Chain A
Amino acid sequence: MVKVDGSGGQSSLIQVRDLDKTYRRGGEVIDVLQGLNLDVEAGEFVAFMGPSGSGKSTLLNLLGGLDVPTRGRITVAGDEITHMSSGRLTEWRARHVGFIFQMYNLIPVLTAFQNVELPLLLTKLSKAERRSHVETALGVVGLTDRMHHFPRQLSGGQEQRVTIARAIVSDPTFLLCDEPTGDLDRKSADDVMTIIEELVGRHHKTVLMVTHDPVVAARASSILHLDKGVLVEGKHASQLTGAGGVA
């Protein structure tokens, strides 16, 4: 169960303690996150909600090792990442984190296959093994028939599915989704969320997701609200969307 009061045990996959993040803009100091605590167990699907500028993306960047906190500690699967060098952090990201971005961030000059293969180029897998992994990942998102298409030849929903395949192809410890449906129509968003739910339900992936959309957030097992740099537990999915659950 997700906890935000720092009472989680050592068994938590992700442990965040007393996390502060401060930005300086000119002479002004902006406290984005203040004394934040978080414990996430393996296999959980957590949605972060909150108004713009509340620090959701900053938190995701810190959890993904893309940014470093001003103070505090983040431990993932026993690795404390807050004091890692930039080079070690890069290696750590390659092993442990799968990123799913709002704007997909596919490399436009590479095919879907090559985009998904990118993280595997950092491993010692043979070409045949890489091919097999890529085909499996594209199979999970239902795009094996589009593997030789370039991003410009795919719809938004398909592009996001390729991004998901790229995020899971190296079997990372957890997935970070930054507004994964923010640029999609409702149908495509629903397809993407179904895939993410399957990754959690069937493949036991741990997923942390930032979203503005309560309907999308409702599909997570836990919802946390960020307000003025502090995390608070939110309503459960069923409470957000009514008795009927997901719209």
Chain B
Amino acid sequence: MLPKLFFGFLITVVAIFALLLVLVIVGGIIAGLLAPFLGNVPVSYNLRSIRARWTSTIVAIIGIAGTVGVFVAMLSLANGFKATLVASGSPGNALVMRAGSPTEMMGGISLDSVKLVQDAPGVAHDSSGPLITQEVVGVVPIPLISTGTDANVQVRGVSPNVLQIRTFVKVSQGRMFQPGLSELVVGKNASKTYSGLTVGNTINFGGGHWQVVGVFDAGGSAFDSEIWCDAKILNQVLLRPPNIFQSATVHLDSPASFQAFKDSVTSNPQLNVDAIREVDYYAKQSTTMTRLITVLGGLVALIMAVGAVFGALNTMYSAVAERGREIATMRAVGFSTWSVILSFLFEALLISFVGGLIGCFAVLPLNGWTTSTMNFQTFSSIAFAFKITFRLLGLGLLFALVMGVLGGLLPAVRAAIRPVAVALREL
């Protein structure tokens, strides 16, 4: 009973402290940014003081720039990974897997089930019939161009009409594979990353010889890191049971038809499947890795931020120490405590803002730069690009301002509350 009460009290205290800290930071940022309008101390005083102490200012700026750079880079990495996976899904497609399967890799759906699914309401049709692709996924080792060492590549067996279902995928070089043949089309990232995945080349895996006949562009989605072939052939090569697939993807009449489709397939007693919007499936797939990158990146940025805040604190404390008599003089001639606090906050925010801007600009060249990592859901490599957005840059600048407030507030208060008569006597 007593420990419970104690922890309850502790959590309340921590929550109040956190709330106060947030209020101080938000209030500090707003007040500091409005200082030129709210306070009386001329901005030229701050600008020239910063210039006069340029060495310590540069140290603080570099510290903040580095922290913001890492912060934005990490977030852009997570953002890029998520965007790559989310782009793989289309809102007009639905993925059908065995009920309870968290991923395609663990799914299993028979041809009989596929036939029932394709007759469900909401499934789009073209002249050749219902738009459905039953798929088989596997992982095969292919050497990396960069190191020559094997890396896991996701190979996806698809139906020949897959391009009518995933309409954003285009064959950019060569042609589509022919059904019934050991032919491959490879994603553009896979083609650039792995050895032998060029049109006209033949590679071996799963005991078979495969000819690369085309390269496709999947619009920067995860499919760009995959290689595609005929599902039936892949099933044979991987020695899997015939007519058993891992998932089926249907193209719907419209995104609005999804609920009717899902209700139909999940309520059909002959089926033991679940349906999910393709876009939601891939968003869910990205969660683990995105969270991992965000948490690890956040930790690194947090540790760096502590250093940067101390840098800013040092800069502002030395500014206050160097200018003790100036501040006292201003207060003697009538500048209020509030004006002095605002002035120093403004100065700290200005330094941190410049640091933030530099940090943001420094990582901008990373935007679009492609890297790859293991997708823990498929155990295969996935290529994705750093994706720096205006939102991330805004977050980076906000992060810089938070560091500015934390580094500038205490010295500002110290400057303002020091007894004037004492400070005037300082040499």
Contacts and interface: CB of A to CB of B under 8 A. Distances in A.
B350 to A, nearest CB: 14
B238 interface: no
Contacts of B325: 103, 105
B421 A119 contact: no
Contacts of B326: 105, 107-108
Contacts of B333: 93-94, 99, 118-119, 122, 166
Contacts of A147: none
Nearest to A62: B421
B4 interface: no
A67 interface: yes
A86 interface: yes
B336 A87 contact: yes
A243 interface: no
Contact of B334 (A61, A90, A103, A105): A90
Contacts of A166: 333
Interface string A61-92: 10010110000000000000000001100110
A67 B421 contact: yes
A122 B335 contact: yes
B413 interface: no
Contacts of A94: 333-334
A105 B424 contact: yes
Contacts of A95: 334
Q: In which size bucket is the chain A interface? A: 20 to 34
Given A66-B332, A66-B424, A121-B42, A108 B52 contact: yes
Contact of B424 (A101, A107, A108): A101
B245 to A, nearest CB: 75
A30 interface: no
B330 to A, nearest CB: 7
Nearest to A167: B333
Interface in B314-339: 325-326, 328-337
Interface string A45-67: 00000000000000001001011
A47 B49 CA distance: 36
Interface string A105-130: 11111100010001101100000000
B17 interface: no
B418 to A, nearest CB: 12
Nearest to B51: A109
B330 A118 contact: yes
A90 B337 contact: yes
Contacts of A87: 336-337
A109 B54 CA distance: 13
Interface of B: 40-42, 44-45, 48-49, 51-52, 325-326, 328-337, 419-421, 424
